[in-house]
Structure 1
Amino acid sequence: MKGSIVNIVCQFVKLGFQFLYFTIAAKMLGADKFGLWASVSALCNILSPLIILGIGPCIIKVHASDKDFSLFRSYYYLGALLLAIGTLVLTPVAALLYKTNYSTVALVLIAELFVFRQIELLSQMYLAKGNKLAFSLFPVAFIVFKLLIVFVVFWWGGSDDFIYVNFISSLVFILPVMCWEELRSVKSNLKLQFQKAIHMMREAVYFSLATTAKTVYTDSDKVILGAANNLRDVANYNIAYKLISLVFVPVSAVLSIQAPTLYHLGSLENKAALREKIKRLIALCVAMSSLIGIGIIIFLPIILSFFGDEYANAKNMVYLLLPAPIIMSIHYVFADGITAMGYQKLRAYMSIITAVLNAVLGLVFIPMYGVAGAVGITLFSETLLLVLFSSVYMSKLKKKYVEH
């Protein structure tokens, strides 16, 4: 639990710095260009799990049991290679989708896809190795470094192009880290074993599909709004989503740290410990989400005042979206319980079905109703996942009890 507390604190610190970073971006870019950045970033969120093939979550699950770290170097470089290819392929597609120049899209994609996803991958590898402190602090160091670069550049009268500065600061951070990881791997005599890593990644495909499904129903609305040229709506909607994400921070932190424990309990024949663990996690996660949600409502007018009049519409969007993270606090715990019992494929299938339904509804209703349609579809999707995951969890848990 100590690791969970540290991770929660780090998550809040990270989001605090991210809030400051996005405030600066929103101020400097203006609503329309900030909306473009947010929409392209949402596209990265949707496609990155498919591009990277769920390597990170698979590493955590595999190495939680056998403690074999010999493939880490292969996993990391395979992930970096896939991200580089994905960035090259996605650049012309995104430029055509958003009707903007290639250079702007390329700068956003390199920073938000190639670099940021490597930060996530490295963090997951640190967790798999048991280094919970590095897992918690590494993303914080990344956002703090970018903030410092932004302040230095603009304080000394450098470039006023925020997208360019974001791109440069991201590259300057990740390149030394890549060199450091390579030196550590060479020193430890870890050989590249791409063939073995690819073979072990078969299970990772299901993690990838489940994660992609999750990002489809959390980010497809921003992509559709952006593609429909409602970039100002995307900007306000993104601000609302960033604030709402605060509600889910403690849940995400706790579940990330508790993942190895859940996998261990799920592998035991007696599921009583897993059942009790899931009950405690649900109670804890709902309580934390509710408290954070109340805090956001109280301080919302003050928070939005930092962004300016262009983002005033985000206020009502926050109120409408607030139930979503509380619902997520429940169904994510049930979903992790399903995975812990070995039903990752079933979890992926349910997530995919929900994601497809979400995307179809989004394509129909978001162009017609804009933000109102996006909010309605989001709440519907989260509720549907709660019903599906809770039902399957109860059914599979009962089946395990009957078997043993």
Structure 2
Amino acid sequence: MNSMMKKVGWMLYGQGGRLIFQTIYFLGLAFVFTPYEYGIYVSITAITVILSPFCGVGFNSLLVKIISTDNKNFPRVYGNALKITVYSYVLLLIMGSVAVCFLFDNYFFAFKLFILISLADLLFLKLTEMSSQIFIAKNLVKISAHILNFISLIRFMSVLFYFIMVRINPQYTGLLNWGKIYLIGSLIFTIYILIYTLKKNEKPLLREKISLSYIKEGIYFSIGLSSQGIYNDIDKTLMGKYTNLETTGQYGFAYKVLDVLFIPIKAILAITFPMFFKYGKEGNIRKTLRFGLKIMFLLLPLLILICVLSFYFVPPLIKLIFDNKYLESISMFKLLLPIVILRNIHYILADAVTGAGYQKERSIIQIIVAILNFLLNIYFISQFQVMGAIIVSIVSDLLMVVFVAILILNKLKDDKINLKGSHNENS
């Protein structure tokens, strides 16, 4: 119990620091840029978030599973993960560039910004997160916490350095100049973390061929995460197309505040994720569900308290810090608050499904919800603008809860039938 509390403490430190620096980071971006510029940033970032799970084809999550269940294969999978992360990034860069071409009128500007952000947030961030997950899976939570802390510190420093540069030279303004600073900081940090990870762990086998069986399993992880990215962020991309970039900036700002509220919960979910695999050996979904429900019922009161306090205290803070700049985002933020609770429920239930060996079924559900989300967003955003995006976001998270719950009930029913059958055979 003390060991678990220490892990939670270190992850809360990591996520707490991340919470502080990430909050300052996105508040800083919102402060130094206009809602129109912030809208461009939000739309470009949404594309990278949607593509991000396919960078590495799910090998980050696969590494956690391998370390938790079959550590002797770690060097081989680690080598595979490093190579496939680089290969997949090149492909995603092409795909993202095509998407930018269709979504933005000012293609050349958007393309340059996409290159800068995708290198930092697709390739370099993925390599850094890989190291963080390796240390979590090996119970070196303290190291992982430091890495998580510094990820957001680098982002914050990019805004701070940009702000100083603009003060020194007022002509040094614009998203592209900030993007260059952000990219350089991300590159330096990623190189340092990779060297440190290689010193502290078994060396990756880079000459080993990429295993097709690992790719197959990794694809299930990446499809699930990408589908999750689609129903979380496709609305911001479509908002830029069907509304205007200023409204997109207001909506993106409200969503960023929402994401900040969920960061402490992510700390606990990051720690518990490897444990689901240990409880779920031999497809035992009863044990993973029992473990997941304990976590859920511990977190729900905390989340409800966070939502109630945020409803009353976040709007005055937005007015105080930004004056009248992001007033429209306040009502959007209040309407989006139920998502914080819904995400907690379906993330934990879905991790119980994955831990029991049903990642394929989880991915199918996420694909279905992502497709529904995309189709609903096209209609509702074109008809009802930002209100349509809010409705679809809440409905999508609710559908995830319902579909995953139905899957679990079916698997429990199957287990009961199989157990009864085995008893009959023995008798």
Distance 1:311 1:14, change over 3 A: same
Q: CA deviation at 1:165?
A: 2.8
Which amino acid in the other structure matches residue 329 of structure 2? Answer: A
Match of 1:41?
45
Which amino acid in the other structure matches residue 75 of structure 1? Answer: A
Provide the identity percentage: 24
Residue 220 of structure 1 contacts residue 359 of structure 1 at CA under 8 Å; is this kept in 2? yes
Deviation per residue, 1:195-216 (Å, 9 max, x gap): 2445422101111111111111
* Alignment partner of 1:211 is 2:220: no
Q: Which moved more, 1:264-273 or 1:373-382?
A: 264-273
Question: What 5-or-longer segments of structure 1 have no aligned partner?
Answer: none
Q: 2:139 aligns with which of 122, 126, 130?
A: 130
Q: Which moved more, 1:267-276 or 1:102-111?
A: 267-276
Which amino acid in the other structure matches residue 326 of structure 2? Answer: Y
Match of 1:372?
387
Distance 1:315 1:383, change over 3 A: same
Q: 2:300 aligns with which of 273, 282, 286?
A: 286
Distance 1:400 1:250, change over 3 A: farther
Match of 2:81?
75
Distance 2:134 2:211 in 1: 14
* Alignment partner of 1:142 is 2:156: no
Match of 2:309?
295
Q: CA deviation at 1:135?
A: 2.3
Q: TM-score, normalised by structure 2?
A: 0.87
Distance 2:371 2:285 in 1: 32
Q: CA deviation at 1:398?
A: 3.7
Q: TM-score, normalised by structure 1?
A: 0.91
Match of 2:422?
none
Q: CA deviation at 1:280?
A: 0.7
Distance 1:92 1:205, change over 3 A: closer
Q: CA deviation at 1:325?
A: 1.5
* Alignment partner of 1:245 is 2:259: yes
Deviation per residue, 1:333-374 (Å, 9 max, x gap): 111111122111111111111110110011111111111001
Distance 1:395 1:88 in 2: 40
Q: Which moved more, 1:29-38 or 1:93-102?
A: 93-102
Residue 286 of structure 2 contacts residue 412 of structure 2 at CA under 8 Å; is this kept in 1? no
Deviation per residue, 1:298-329 (Å, 9 max, x gap): 32123212234231111111111111121121
Determine helix, strand or coil for the equivalent of 1:195: coil
Distance 1:23 1:43 in 2: 20
Q: Which moved more, 1:72-81 or 1:44-53?
A: 72-81
Q: 1:191 aligns with which of 195, 205, 213?
A: 205
Distance 1:55 1:269 in 2: 21
Deviation per residue, 1:77-120 (Å, 9 max, x gap): 32133224422542354144212223233223333333333333
Match of 1:200?
214
* Alignment partner of 1:98 is 2:104: yes
Deviation per residue, 1:265-300 (Å, 9 max, x gap): 111576654343122112022122112112212321
Distance 2:296 2:203 in 1: 43
Match of 1:66?
70
Q: CA deviation at 1:189?
A: 5.0
Question: What 5-or-longer segments of structure 2 have no aligned partner?
Answer: 420-427
Distance 1:346 1:9, change over 3 A: same
Which amino acid in the other structure matches residue 23 of structure 1? Answer: L
Distance 1:396 1:297, change over 3 A: same
Match of 1:120?
129
Determine helix, strand or coil for the equivalent of 2:325: helix
Distance 2:360 2:374 in 1: 21
Match of 1:266?
280
Which amino acid in the other structure matches residue 316 of structure 1? Answer: S
Determine helix, strand or coil for the equivalent of 1:309: coil
Which amino acid in the other structure matches residue 228 of structure 1? Answer: Y
Distance 1:307 1:108, change over 3 A: farther
Distance 1:183 1:301, change over 3 A: closer
Distance 1:378 1:351 in 2: 14
Distance 2:411 2:177 in 1: 50
Distance 1:98 1:194, change over 3 A: farther
Deviation per residue, 1:28-60 (Å, 9 max, x gap): 220111101011101111122134311211111
Distance 2:338 2:211 in 1: 40
Deviation per residue, 1:124-147 (Å, 9 max, x gap): 233233322222221321221332
Match of 1:307?
322
Q: CA deviation at 1:382?
A: 1.2
- The number of residues matched between the two structures is 404
Which amino acid in the other structure matches residue 235 of structure 1? Answer: G
* Alignment partner of 1:381 is 2:396: yes
Which amino acid in the other structure matches residue 146 of structure 1? Answer: R
Which amino acid in the other structure matches residue 296 of structure 1? Answer: S
